[in-house]
């Protein structure tokens, strides 16, 4: 199967590194024109110059601060005054790790703004052109923790669960316009985020970070953590015409980490 996204325009959040970058690269490799979106303008500028343009793509980037919803709202609103997208990948950095007893109400509010309000607001803006074109893809980068909560990720557990239930509801509303809405439940991937979490665990338990990684890999059925490009392949498929009958789903990409059905 040859996935072609030629003449499609994609907006990818959190794409200056890790999973978001890999998604942007694969969408571009499949023919889409991609707008990168993250806080590091220097990284975005470098990445956008490396994306393929052999199918006539025109790539650009948008520097945003997902942690400041007021400013983010201004920047993204201005972007949509002059741009439309066919494929929206909702992805931001995760909130700080910590247990439920370590977090206070302000932490939850900040996480809600970061993980939920940015997603909903951006999607509202993107849907206008998707409805007009009678075609669209909304793909949310979520986490396996919405099915099996991780004790050290209380904020992510809580707010990402809200995102996937919202997405399920939205899928029903926009399906008649040939717009699909899906969430990808992320397992362990070789990213800076995992490295940071592992470093915190290593410090907490007084062990080497390599031991944390080894224990993590032992919990995965395929006995390794994933590579970001593998994530990109799944998102490119979900963004394609070949995935037109897939909507309202939560798809784990976790190497068999989840134990529940």
- pLDDT, residue 202, reads 86
Pick from 25-34, 131-140, 204-213, 249-258: least confident: 204-213
- pLDDT, residue 164, reads 98
Whether the per-residue pLDDT at 135 is higher than 90: the answer is: yes
Give me the mean pLDDT over the 174-184 stretch: 98
Alpha-carbon distance of 210 to 90, in angstroms, equals 31
For residue 100, with 0-12 CB atoms within 10 Å meaning exposed, 13-18 middle and 19 or more buried, which class applies? middle
- pLDDT, residue 161, reads 97
pLDDT in tens, 53-90: 999 999 999 999 999 999 999 999 999 999 999 999 99
**138: closest CA among 146, 147, 126?**
126
Give me the mean pLDDT over the 148-162 stretch: 94
Q: 9-187+227-252 adopts what CATH topology?
A: Rossmann fold (3.40.50)
- pLDDT, residue 162, reads 97
Domain extents for the chain?
9-187+227-252, 189-225
Quick count: other Cβ atoms within 10 Å of Cβ 122? 26
- pLDDT, residue 74, reads 98
Give me the mean pLDDT over the 32-43 stretch: 96
- pLDDT, residue 37, reads 98
- pLDDT, residue 204, reads 82
Pick from 132-136, 146-150, 198-202: least confident: 198-202
- pLDDT, residue 35, reads 98
Task: Give the pair of three-digit tokens for residue 25.
Answer: 């690269």
Alpha-carbon distance of 3 to 200, in angstroms, equals 39
**Helix segments in 30-134, DSSP class H:** 41-50, 69-82, 105-112, 118-133
Give me the mean pLDDT over the 126-155 stretch: 96
Alpha-carbon distance of 127 to 85, in angstroms, equals 9
DSSP 12: E
């Amino acid at each position: 199967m040859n996935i072609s996204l030629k003449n499609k325009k994609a907006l990818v959040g959190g794409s200056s590194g890790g999973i978001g970058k890999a998604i942007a690269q694969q969408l571009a490799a499949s023919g889409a024109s991609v707008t990168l979106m993250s806080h590091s303008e220097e990284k975005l500028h470098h990445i956008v110059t490396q994306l393929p343009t052999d199918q006539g793509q025109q790539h650009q980037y948008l520097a945003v601060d997902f942690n400041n919803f007021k400013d983010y709202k201004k920047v993204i609103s201005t972007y949509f005054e002059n741009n439309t997208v066919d494929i929206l990948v909702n992805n931001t950095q995760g909130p700080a790790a910590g247990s439920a007893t370590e977090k206070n109400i302000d932490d939850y509010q900040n996480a809600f703004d970061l993980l939920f309000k940015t997603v909903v607001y951006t999607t509202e803006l993107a849907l206008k052109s998707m409805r007009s074109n009678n075609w669209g893809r909304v793909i949310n980068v979520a986490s396996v923790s919405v099915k099996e909560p991780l004790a050290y990720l209380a904020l992510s557990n809580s707010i990402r669960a809200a995102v996937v239930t919202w997405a399920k509801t939205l899928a029903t509303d926009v399906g008649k316009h040939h717009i699909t809405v899906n969430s990808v439940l992320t397992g362990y991937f070789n990213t800076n985020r995992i490295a940071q979490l592992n470093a915190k665990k290593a410090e907490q338990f007084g062990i080497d970070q390599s031991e944390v990684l080894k224990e993590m890999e032992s919990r995965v059925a395929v006995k390794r953590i994933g590579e970001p490009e593998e994530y990109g392949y799944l998102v490119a498929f979900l963004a394609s015409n070949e995935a037109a009958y897939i909507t309202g789903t939560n798809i784990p990409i976790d190497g068999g980490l989840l134990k529940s059905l």
